């Protein structure tokens, strides 16, 4: 078996947390100009990435993060494995459960269903950026108060989805909540608390 650890980004030095060790953060937004090969297919020019690793630059939580990734790597796996942003969870890995929800240019997406290479150029916001340091956002605090979490595996996805939902529906009706927060699954059964969170944020009362 050939030693091929170079396939995985390795540590640089001088940074205490490994989160940052794998990441080369640059302050200015430098567009990647290493363009993919283009082929003409079905009457269109189509970019071909890979099959090997390609440089990928992502704008995550206001930071520019670079990694060498195979084109098949999803945004979710890139966030979790390359940048150690593990708040988004891998559960169904095919766009059914919402546990991996992140914001892409402010809109919620299932990060398991977006390729990392396709997320370049977009502003990516994960649960980790929704609160400062050790603090909780008011919404996170409401999740605690209404006990809208049990095992907690779906919770970050729900918090991200609810953050966006409440921006779109600052005073949601019960029906808005039913429709708007139906894109995430919870197995422990915390929906009653999540409903209460959404209603309380709207200044309403739980029916």
Partner 1 sequence: MSQYSWPDPATRPLLGKSISRVDGPSKSSGRAKYTYDYNPQGLLAGKILRCPYAHAKITSIDTSAAEKMSGVKAVEVIQGPGTEILWAGDEIVGVAAVDEGTAEDALRAIKVEYEVLPHFVSDAEPPKTIAADTGPVSADDFQDMEENQVPDEEVIARIQKSGISFQPTDKDYDSYKGMGVDSSIIAALKKAKYVPAENKPKSPYKKTALQSQGTPDKAFASAATVSEGLYGTPCIVHSCLETHGSAMEWPGEKEVVVHVSTQNVSGIAAQLAEPLSVPAGNINVLQQNVGGGFGSKFSVDRWDVNTAKLSKKAGGKPVKNMLDRKAEFEVAGMRPSAYARVKIAADKDGKIVAWESRSWGTGGVGGGGTPPLPYIFEIPNQRKQNTAISTNQGSARAWRAPNHPQAAVITMGAIEDLAAKMKMDPLDLVLKNMDIAGPRAQTYKEEFAIADGLMGWKKNWHQRGDTTPGNIKRGLGLSMHTWGGRGHNSDCDFSIHPDGSVEIKMGTQDLGTGARTIITIVAADTLGIPMENVTLLYGNNRYPPSGGSGGSTTSGGVTSSTRRAAVDARDALFAKVAPSLKAQPEELEAADGRVRVKGDANRSLSWKEACAKIGAVPLTVHGSNPDKARPPDLTNSGVGGVQMADVSVDIETGIVRVNKMVAVQDCGLVVDVKTAESQVYGALIMGISYALYEEKILDPVTGRVLNPNLEFYRLAGLSDIGELKVRMMTGKGYDERGVIGLAEPPVVSPGAAISNAVANAIGVRVPFLPLTPDRVLAALEEAGGSHAYHGVW
Question: What residues from 169 to 188 belong to the interface with partner 1 (CB under 8 A)?
Answer: 177-179, 181-188
Query: Cβ closer to partner 1: 5 or 44?
Result: 5
194 sits near partner 1 (criterion: CB under 8 A) = yes
The reply to whether 91 sits near partner 1 by the rule CB under 8 A is: yes
Q: According to the binding rule CB under 8 A, does residue 147 interact with partner 1? A: yes
For partner 1, the binding residues in 11-50 under the rule CB under 8 A are 11, 18, 21
Neighbours of 171 (CB within 10 A): 11
Helix, strand, or coil here: 110?
strand
DSSP-derived secondary structure letter, 115:
B
| CB 94, CB 113: distance < 8 Å | yes
CA distance 4 to 55: 18
CA distance readout (Å), 130 to 126, 176, 192: 7, 23, 23
By CB under 8 A, name the one of 67, 75, 76, 97 that touches partner 1: 97
By CB under 8 A, residue 5 contacts partner 1: yes
* 179/3 Cα distance (integer angstroms): 51
Candidate list 59, 96, 118, 169; residue touching partner 1; CB under 8 A:
96
* Minimal distance, residue 52 CB to partner 1, in Å: 11
**Stretch touching partner 1 by CB under 8 A, among 32-40, 56-64, 115-123, 130-138:** 130-138
Contact with partner 1 (CB under 8 A) among 88, 103, 117, 119: 88
User: Would you say 70 or 118 has its CB closer to partner 1?
Assistant: 70
Closer of 153 and 164 to partner 1 (Cβ): 153
The runs of H, that is alpha helices, within the chain are 18-21, 75-77, 138-145, 155-168, 174-180, 191-201
Question: Could you tell me which stretch among 32-40, 60-68, 75-83, 116-124 binds partner 1 (CB under 8 A)?
Answer: 75-83
User: DSSP label at 83?
Assistant: S
Residue 174 is classified by DSSP as: H
């Amino acid at each position: 078996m050939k030693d091929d650890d170079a396939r995985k980004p390795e540590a640089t030095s001088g940074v205490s947390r490994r989160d940052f060790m794998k990441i080369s953060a640059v302050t200015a937004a430098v567009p990647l100009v290493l363009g993919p090969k283009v082929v003409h297919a079905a009457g269109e020019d189509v970019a071909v990435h890979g099959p090997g690793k390609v440089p990928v630059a992502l704008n995550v939580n206001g930071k520019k993060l670079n990694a060498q990734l195979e084109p098949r790597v999803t945004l979710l796996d890139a966030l979790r494995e390359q940048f150690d942003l593990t708040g988004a969870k891998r559960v169904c890995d095919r766009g059914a459960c919402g546990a991996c929800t992140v914001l892409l240019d402010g809109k919620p997406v299932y990060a398991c269903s977006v390729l990392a290479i396709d997320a370049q150029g977009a502003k990516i916001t994960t649960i980790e950026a929704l609160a400062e340091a050790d603090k909780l956002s008011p919404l996170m605090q409401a999740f605690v108060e209404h006990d809208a979490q049990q095992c907690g595996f779906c919770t970050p996805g729900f918090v991200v989805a609810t953050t966006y939902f409440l921006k779109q529906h600052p005073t949601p009706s019960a029906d808005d909540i039913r429709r708007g927060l139906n894109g995430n699954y919870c197995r422990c059964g915390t929906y009653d608390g999540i409903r209460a969170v959404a209603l309380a944020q709207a200044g309403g009362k739980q029916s």
